């Protein structure tokens, strides 16, 4: 990936999302911050190889035994799938994307590993249908974090008004998550990222986004921004660290507000435990885009982290085509 591409804020948003997801994979769905802290006393918590011993005797779900350090979770795969779709078609085409989604995650597809409930149910809906019969809404009534997985690509490749972006976000989210709270969270995340790419400060971007967050999310997001210091473990204890957007997005806002750089943000997210990969997608995009836009740098993503992301070549090719 050439230097010009790497430092472009829109590319930084996409790369920041994908690298953060891969960095978080090793301790994904470990719901015990104390165990994570214990692991960190002897080893790095980023790009850790998934190890069932880390989850033994504590609260957690070991989902990634078939994966290697540097690979993506199902969320990261969805983000990359959308990136490849945009590079191939030049614009979002619903039925083509649904076909690619079914092919990628369905039986015999390229993806191997754990898939969450919205992905599984979407594949079940699409599997028996011909492309011309794909419904506009194929998703589950589910507010899990998959709803945010494509947001970095949708925003980074968008060239129209905010109102048009909101319509596109809803269209894409309802393919996998036919749920009003999921749509509100995705519109909120997209608004924050778009504001950052327009040059707004992190504080202003997050505040702007609350206006489109909906009644259910608004109070928790305001509470997240009212915190006075970075403490992701306490934030997770307060808001919850499971897969729902109502729990994940407030933690993202809390970390994004306080973290001084990308490395700090992603490690703080992992320390919070739970659905760290689900949160990492939008958190990584926000922080990376902010630093790339404000400081004209490669989004503060460590080059050693970028090098450890196993699908960097595919990202580089897609970004250069776009």
pLDDT, tens digit, for every residue of 201-223? 999 999 999 999 999 999 999 99
> Tokens 């009534």 appear where?
141
At 296 the pLDDT is 59
At 204 the pLDDT is 97
Domain 3-321 has CATH 1.10.10.10: no
At 270 the pLDDT is 98
Give the distance between the most distant pair of CA atoms in the chain.
54
Closest by CA to 17, choosing from 305, 322, 313, 321, is 305
Detail the residues annotated as belonging to a binding site for Mg(2+).
Answer: 275
Detail the residues annotated as belonging to a binding site.
Answer: 275
Q: Give the residue ranges of the chain where pLDDT is below 70.
A: 1-7, 296-299
Alpha-helical (H) ranges within 150-244 are: 151-156, 162-176, 180-197, 202-210, 214-225, 232-239
- pTM, rounded to two decimals: 0.96
> Tokens 């070549």 appear where?
313
At 294 the pLDDT is 84
Strand partners, 177: 140
> Does residue 144 sit in helix, strand or coil?
strand
> Is the separation of the CB atoms in 58 and 35 below 8 Å?
yes
List, in order, residues 6 or more apart from 184 with CB less than 8 Å away.
212, 213, 214, 216, 217
Query: ∠ CA 316-317-321 to the nearest 5 degrees?
Result: 115
At 182 the pLDDT is 98
At 224 the pLDDT is 98
* Stretch (H or E) spanning 5: helix 3-7
At 300 the pLDDT is 85
Angle between helices 214-225 and 232-239 (to 10 degrees): 150
Question: Cα–Cα distance between 62 and 26 in angstroms, integer?
Answer: 9
């Amino acid at each position: 990936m050439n230097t010009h591409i790497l430092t472009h804020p829109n590319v930084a948003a996409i790369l920041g999302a994908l690298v953060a997801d891969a960095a978080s994979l090793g301790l994904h769905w470990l719901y015990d911050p104390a165990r994570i802290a214990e692991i960190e006393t002897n080893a790095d918590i980023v790009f850790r190889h998934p190890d069932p011993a880390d989850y033994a005797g504590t609260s957690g779900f070991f989902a990634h035994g078939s994966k290697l350090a540097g690979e993506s979770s199902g969320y990261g795969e969805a983000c990359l799938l959308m990136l490849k779709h945009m590079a191939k078609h030049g614009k979002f085409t619903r039925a083509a994307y649904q076909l690619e989604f079914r092919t990628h995650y369905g039986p015999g597809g390229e993806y191997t590993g754990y898939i969450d409930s919205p992905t599984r149910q979407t594949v079940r809906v699409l599997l028996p249908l011909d492309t011309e019969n794909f419904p506009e809404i194929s998703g589950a009534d589910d507010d899990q974090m998959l709803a945010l997985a494509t947001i970095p690509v949708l925003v980074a490749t968008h060239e129209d008004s905010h109102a048009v972006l909101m319509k596109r976000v809803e269209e894409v989210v309802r393919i996998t998550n036919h749920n009003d709270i999921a749509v509100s969270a995705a519109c909120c995340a997209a608004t924050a990222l778009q504001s950052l790419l327009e040059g707004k400060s992190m504080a202003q971007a997050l505040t702007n986004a609350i206006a489109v967050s909906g009644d259910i999310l608004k109070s928790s997001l305001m509470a997240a921004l009212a915190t006075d210091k970075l403490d992701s473990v306490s934030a997770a204890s307060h808001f919850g660290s499971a897969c729902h957007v109502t729990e994940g997005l407030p933690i993202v806002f809390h970390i994004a507000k306080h973290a001084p750089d990308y490395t700090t943000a992603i490690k703080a997210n992992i320390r919070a435990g739970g659905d760290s990969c689900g949160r990492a997608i939008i958190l990584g995009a926000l922080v990376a885009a902010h630093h790339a836009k404000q400081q004209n740098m490669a989004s503060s993503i460590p080059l050693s982290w970028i090098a450890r992301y196993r699908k960097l070549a595919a990202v580089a090719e897609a970004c250069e085509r776009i």
